[in-house]
Amino acid sequence: MKHFLLSIPLALLCGCTQPVVQSALVNEVDVFLASYSETYLGLQLKSAEADWALNTKIVEGDDSNSKAYEVAEGKVAEFTGSVEVIEKARRYLAGASALNDLQVRQLKAILYAAARNPQTKPELVTARIKADAAQTEALFGFDFKINGKSVSTNEIDRILEEENDEQVRLAAWASSKEVGKGLKKGLANLVSLRNKTVQTLGYKDFFQYQVSDYGMTVPEMMELMRRFARELRPLYRELHTWARYRLAKKFGKEVPDLLPAHWLPNRWGQSWSSMVKVKGFDLDGVLSSFKPEKLVRQAEDFYVSLGFEALPRSFYERSSLYPLPKGTPYKKNNHASAWHMDLEEDVRCLMSVEPNANWWETTHHELGHIYYYIEYTSPYVPPLLREGANRGFHEAIGSLLGLASMQKGFLQGRGLIAGDAEVDELQVLLREALDFVVFIPFSTGTMTHFEHDLYAAGLPISSYNERWWKYVAEFQGIRPPAGRGEEFCDAASKTHINNDAAQYYDYAISYILLHQFHRHIARKILGQDPRNTNYYGNKKIGSFLRSILKLGATRDSRAVLRESIGEDISARALLDYFEPLLEYLRKENAGRRHTLGDI
Ligand SMILES: [Zn+2]
């Protein structure tokens, strides 16, 4: 969540490099930034409080919380996109060479935020917000049905993960895509509105706008994504071949060239890990006797062991950490999230922790966001720059600690699996690859290329479904069970096509980055095998992480990466991690036909 607080006087931030007498322009910009930050904070805090209430207390038939949030968020939009703010930020940026780096970064952040809600075209903004809300409601309010009977998406997921009957699977998969038909027109309308909104501020299209947050051009981002997909291709090709033969045997069918989508244990074929069960690694069993509170306390204890402070008491007082007790007359959002309410000390988590391996990993992940917030909340980071080095960094840090919390050495050290547990390490690697590696062609390939075409290449609505499946086949090697004409819009069944659009590459980047950080820690700090580490109690790891977190968004993310681990973004660490698996799969697949082409 992006919530800003009062500006710190810049002289305090850059005292060492400021000339004794600041230019009039520098002073004027300081005054503007301080005033903007103060107003923004007041409005944003109200919006965050309303958003928190909306997510933690959902009363059926009572829309007062959502109305309050709309009003508060509307005021934020009005201010951040106001004509005066846009004009001033633009004018000051025109003289950027006379300003200091922190000022330029803050002004750019202001203009970036303005492009979402430019009040120079208020009717566009209103139409976009309305269309956004309608699309979200149509997706989340959809009545999924199998054979005429309503089902939840959890039930659809369970069928795709566990069911052996191919016809039952087919019905579940097909039902999951029905929602797309009704979303197609709304999506086309949103694409047009999102593009027009940011064009007001001079961006070519919404895709370019989102990419610009990384300081990159669209061709640079697309090339980076294709590079990741290409580098992982040999390993993905082995996984693809292994899965084709394994699933054809399971369903008693000929081995297909492309994987039928309904054979896979995920609605979009983006994660296949439930195809593998690993013996001797029963974290669920051990954790089932824990109270949920113990998971959160142990995750905090892990961070403290690395040298981070204990969480502020207010974290426990204000967060919503556990499922609501039975009989509570309202509901809450069950998805995990981490909140920085005021961009100062008020940090909270919204979770529904239960004692199992999934929540164990998730709790460690969410606390990664919380410690990121805590570290960059300092006089050295102006409130407008209290963000990750880029969008991928915030996710990577959480996922890094999540990964570390699941490794055998760590779990043995914590007494959560037996010291002499016999675990088939190749099966562990295979299960991990079916998440981390399988996700890359989906995120860098299908999602990013399709959204690029939607926003930046003017893809006509009459080609949405054909283009979607072209990329699914090319990058993921998957085909639909039967013909999918343009009456469908299968892409729109994915939340991120509708909401948080055109930024799915964030997740690919975070997977790549987290492996680079992890390899650096394992090899350079711990001297351990990256596939089996124990971070616990190592203060050097804490110092290393804090050196990255404390910078927030005050520096270019590429420089931060280079200075912290001595390399640029690269899939090498991810590939090295799975090297033993590549050898194993090559043997398993010996004599089998590979059908994935080059990209
Ligand atoms: Zn996260």
pLDDT-wise least confident of 240-244, 406-410, 546-550: 406-410
Q: Is residue 322 part of a domain?
A: yes
In the chain, % helix, strand, coil (3-state, to 5) comes to 60, 5, 35
Ligand 1 center from residue 253 Cα (angstroms):
39
Ligand 1 center from residue 393 Cα (angstroms):
10
Q: Is residue 464 part of a domain?
A: no
Ligand 1 center from residue 271 Cα (angstroms):
17
Q: Is residue 383 part of a domain?
A: yes
Q: What is the pLDDT of residues 360-373, one digit of tens each?
A: 999 999 999 999 99
Model confidence at 420, pLDDT cuts 50, 70, 90, reads confident
Q: Is residue 501 part of a domain?
A: no
> Which residue would you say has higher pLDDT here, 443 or 330?
443
Ligand 1 center from residue 510 Cα (angstroms):
10
Average pLDDT over residues 26-30: 96
Question: Which residue is it, tokens 């299209």?
Answer: 205
Q: Is the model's pLDDT at 446 over the cut of 80?
A: yes
Q: What is the pLDDT of residues 241-273, one digit of tens each?
A: 999 999 999 999 999 999 999 999 999 999 999
Q: Give dist(CA 44, CA 80) in Å, integer.
A: 10
**Cβ < 5 A residues, ion ligand 1:** 395, 398
* Percent of the chain clearing pLDDT 90 (strictly above): 84
DSSP tally for the chain: helices H, then strands E: 28, 6
Q: Is residue 378 part of a domain?
A: yes
Q: How many domains does the structure of the chain reveal?
A: 2
Q: Give dist(CA 66, CA 74) in Å, integer.
A: 12
In order of 278, 284, 418, 423, the CA distances from 289 in angstroms are 21, 9, 16, 22
Give the structural domain span for 348: 284-423
Q: Is residue 40 part of a domain?
A: yes
Q: Is the model's pLDDT at 33 over the cut of 80?
A: yes
Q: Is residue 100 part of a domain?
A: yes
- Pick the last residue of a domain from 423, 455, 470: 423
Q: Is the model's pLDDT at 451 over the cut of 60?
A: yes
| Per-position b or e across 575-587, b if 16+ CB within 10 A of its CB | bebbeebbebbee
Q: Give dist(CA 265, CA 391) in Å, integer.
A: 28
- Pick the last residue of a domain from 87, 120, 153: 120
Q: Is the model's pLDDT at 168 over the cut of 70?
A: yes
Question: Which residue is it, tokens 């239960």?
Answer: 354
For the chain, what is the mean pLDDT? 93
Average pLDDT over residues 432-440: 96
Ligand 1 center from residue 402 Cα (angstroms):
10
Q: Give dist(CA 516, CA 507) in Å, integer.
A: 14
Ligand 1 center from residue 235 Cα (angstroms):
26
* Residue 521 token pair: 């820690």
Count of residues for the chain? 599
CA 166 vs. chain centroid, Å, equals 32
Q: Is residue 27 part of a domain?
A: yes
Confidence at residue 21, expressed as pLDDT on a 0 to 100 scale: 62
Q: Is the model's pLDDT at 282 over the cut of 90?
A: no
Q: Give dist(CA 142, CA 150) in Å, integer.
A: 10
Ligand 1 center from residue 504 Cα (angstroms):
13
Give the residue from 381, 317, 373 showing the smallest Cα distance to 345. Answer: 373
Question: Which residue is it, tokens 């038939």?
Answer: 61
* Residue 201 · residue 121 · CB < 8 Å: no
- Pick the last residue of a domain from 51, 85, 120: 120
Ligand 1 center from residue 242 Cα (angstroms):
30
Q: Give dist(CA 249, CA 347) in Å, integer.
A: 50
Give the pTM.
0.92
Ligand 1 center from residue 398 Cα (angstroms):
6
Confidence at residue 140, expressed as pLDDT on a 0 to 100 scale: 80
* Residue 227 · residue 599 · CB < 8 Å: no
Confidence at residue 309, expressed as pLDDT on a 0 to 100 scale: 97
- Within 10 angstroms of residue 380's Cβ, the number of other Cβ atoms is 16
Q: Give dist(CA 72, CA 77) in Å, integer.
A: 9
Q: Is the model's pLDDT at 379 over the cut of 90?
A: yes
Sign of CA dihedral 303, 304, 306, 307: positive
